[in-house]
Amino acid sequence: MPTSSNTADFLHILRERGFLHQCSDPADDLSGLAAAAPGGVLTAYVGFDATAASLHVGHLLSIMALRWLQRTGNRPIVLIGGGTTKIGDPSFRDTTRPMLDDSQIAANAAGLRRVFSQYMSFGDGPADAVMVDNADWLDGLDYVPFLRDVGRHFTINRMLSFESVRQRMEREQPLTFLEFNYMILQAYDFLELSRRYGCLLQMGGSDQWGNIVNGIELARRVERRELFGLTTPLLTTASGTKMGKTAGGAVWLNADARSPFDFWQFWRNTEDADVGRFLRLFTELPLEEIARLECLEGAEINEAKIVLATEATRLCHGAGEAERAASAAGSPFAPDGDGLPEVTLRCEDGADGVPLVDALVAAGLSASKGAARRLIREGGARLDGQPVTDEAATLTASAVLSAGRKRHVRLIVTA
């Protein structure tokens, strides 16, 4: 049941687990935000533009923040940016986003919606999550009345002062008038959600701080509403890499974009120095257990990485997929390769089989044929667990193909 401490509990979790970067509440203990929530129940939202058919690991901090919001008895709103995607957020981008048509945006939005049901419970209850699309109100706006009623509260001077805009201007990179309107529309979203759902808080990554502050100021000027903003930190790995970026591209959350096994492997390959931090942010394990795991050293740190990989995969893909991924990683050379990602290759007419070098590249285990040959020469290529050192080897039957001891693919060879 909701209690007056729901909002305070949520904010405490964000602080102790490392989610909190900035908050518009001037009080150090965030007591102003906690006191503003009616009955102690806080309604908050995060917006996700439909620029791709899946979200990726870079979005997980915001998704986990919404999950903790609901777990503490508060009400999360997932805002799909069907309207704002038509413009594209220019924040900290060097170039204008590609323009998508309505059918592409609708297809992408459908892909985005699939992941949220894994992290939140949607319904009509006081703490059930709500999913809305800002196209519902943005598409129907009349341009001149909108400029008169909303646009007059934004000065060009202030908009030019935002870091994301200033960087584009200093680099003499184009910033279109269309993009320039994005921050106004996002501010209007916050006002509209406060009107429709009593939303008091907008959350997002640290790159969204300027856009969030615009919404707070718009609500104050138009309706004297007190709204709040909160951002999560920009995450980088211990080696300085942006979180979720790999040599193979983004780490997608949808299973049809990245298999649960590959998702599990991403977390299993976490750098030692990041394990404790990622356990706090991307799992729900008690902090006492995390403290034990992050103190492990040497080969024992692998235990913590396996826990991280399994817990993160469980949240994203379900317990069954997490268990299958962990099992497949632990015994990758089982005869059927159960749980491994599959790649099907066809023998060319008249060929005796598929060249091993080609198979490594096609399976994504090597970036080029040259890299594949080096892998073979160095003893890193394996078939069903056995090293293959012949660069001219061909595959005539299905097998588990590996690069090293962590990356595995079930290769299916057809005539």
Chain position carrying tokens 């008895």: 73
**Is 186 annotated as a binding-site member?**
yes
Helix (H) or strand (E) holding 237: none
Please count the residues of the chain.
415
Rounded to whole angstroms, the Cα distance separating 329 from 348 reads 31
CB 215 within 8 A of CB 191: yes
| Beta-ladder partners of 411 | 343, 399
Burial class from Cβ neighbours inside 10 Å (0-12, 13-18, 19+) for residue 99 reads exposed
**Is 119 annotated as a binding-site member?**
no
**Is 188 annotated as a binding-site member?**
no
Chain position carrying tokens 């390959």: 269
CB 129 within 8 A of CB 66: yes
Structure tokens at 238: 């211990």
CB 229 within 8 A of CB 209: yes
* Helix 260-268, helix 301-317: angle, nearest 10: 150
Rounded to whole angstroms, the Cα distance separating 146 from 185 reads 10
Helices (H) and strands (E) in the chain, counts: 18, 15
Question: How does DSSP assign 196-209, residue by residue?
Answer: HH---EEEEEGGGH
Rounded to whole angstroms, the Cα distance separating 282 from 312 reads 6
Pairing of β 407-414 and β 342-346: parallel
Query: In 10 A of CB 76, how many CB atoms?
Result: 29
| 3-state helix vs strand vs coil in the chain, percent to 5 | 50, 15, 35
Annotated binding site: 45, 182, 186, 245
Annotated binding site for ATP: 245
Annotated binding site for L-tyrosine: 45, 182, 186
